[in-house]
Amino acid sequence: MSAPSQNAGFLKQATITAVFIAVLWGVDQLLQIGLNPYYVRVVVNCGIAAILALSLNLINGCAGQFSLGHAGFMAVGAYVSATLTTVYPAGEFFQSPLGVGVAITIGGIVAALAGYLVGLPSLRLKGDYLAIVTLGFSEMIRVCFLNIPAVGGARGMNGIPVHSSFFWVYLWAALAWVFFWRLLRSGRGRAILALRDDETAAEAMGVEVSHFKVVSFSLSSAFAGIAGGLFAHYQGFIDPQSFDFSRSVLVVIMVVLGGMGSLSGAVLGAVVVTVLPESLRVFESYRLIIFPLVLILMMLLRPKGILGHREIWEFFPRRAK
């Protein structure tokens, strides 16, 4: 590849990124004046859910490990970042929008470390057994926060500076998308995919199985932690109940419903699982019956998830080039 074409490629990418950020910011401004705050909230929650689903998709969908503890990593990110910005303010800095961004990033890094710790038992465990360990781990994390008075215990944390918005959530979501997209199309990504199909064969091909399991756990947890941080700084309030077992299950549902291993499927699943309960509010308490019913119907009609292993654009015939 010659240098000028590389430069042109870089320029093109930089332009696309700049335009994307400008559009995001514009939409953000429009939403603030134009749209009912309730709808804005649903849209932002979709974005947070999409980050969670994209990250869990790496473990459950691509590496073929069954994790049921995503809420735990989300909690780590949320509590670490919120502690930085609220309980233990390191000067004014962490109160500013930029500081909140830094705090959320730190939350993601700490969550990655937690993911590394959970990734270790995954070397020996498979399927249901791994699911139980991850579930236990996330409950442990939740109970820890429940019993630390400094972070509010059962009352939760109040007064977290609200600095994440549509703009920041979707910027992170886009970053997560690009990250996982590039990862899965790299040699390392294919090695992770190979794990899912046949671990022994992957090992015999020279793929370092244990390394990749732990790495995918850490990467996935990092983004779960970031989603947690965004969540905390959007709601302005967190308590241990926000990160209980049912949230982990919801994320698993998003991934399974959308289609295991498909990025667009994960996003679609996140949107469906977030919007559907909201749109059913007219049925009042019946929605608690209708929502699972819809999920069961969807799984019966499309047992491999809405998109299966494929990406959404693979369903449309490609235009001739």
Where does this chain bind other proteins (CB under 8 A)? 187, 190-191, 193-194, 196-198, 200-209, 261, 309
d(CA 167, CA 317): 33
CA dihedral over 111, 192, 196, 203, signed as positive or negative: negative
DSSP 3-state helix, strand, coil percentages of the chain (rounded to 5)? 80, 0, 20
Report in angstroms how near the CB of residue 304 gets to other proteins at its nearest.
11
Report in angstroms how near the CB of residue 123 gets to other proteins at its nearest.
12
Complex with other proteins: residue 53 or 202, whichever CB lies closer = 202
Complex with other proteins: residue 93 or 181, whichever CB lies closer = 181
Ramachandran sector of residue 280 (left: φ over 0; alpha: ψ -120 to 50; beta: rest) = alpha
What phi and psi, each to the nearest 5 degrees, are found at residue 159? 65, 30
Report in angstroms how near the CB of residue 213 gets to other proteins at its nearest.
13
- Max distance between CA atoms of the chain, in angstroms, equals 63
Report in angstroms how near the CB of residue 118 gets to other proteins at its nearest.
22
Complex with other proteins: residue 76 or 260, whichever CB lies closer = 260
Report in angstroms how near the CB of residue 187 gets to other proteins at its nearest.
6
Complex with other proteins: residue 99 or 305, whichever CB lies closer = 305
DSSP bridge pairs for 238: 157
d(CA 216, CA 63): 7
Complex with other proteins: residue 161 or 189, whichever CB lies closer = 189
Instruction: Please identify which residue in the block is written with the tokens 């559907």.
Output: 276
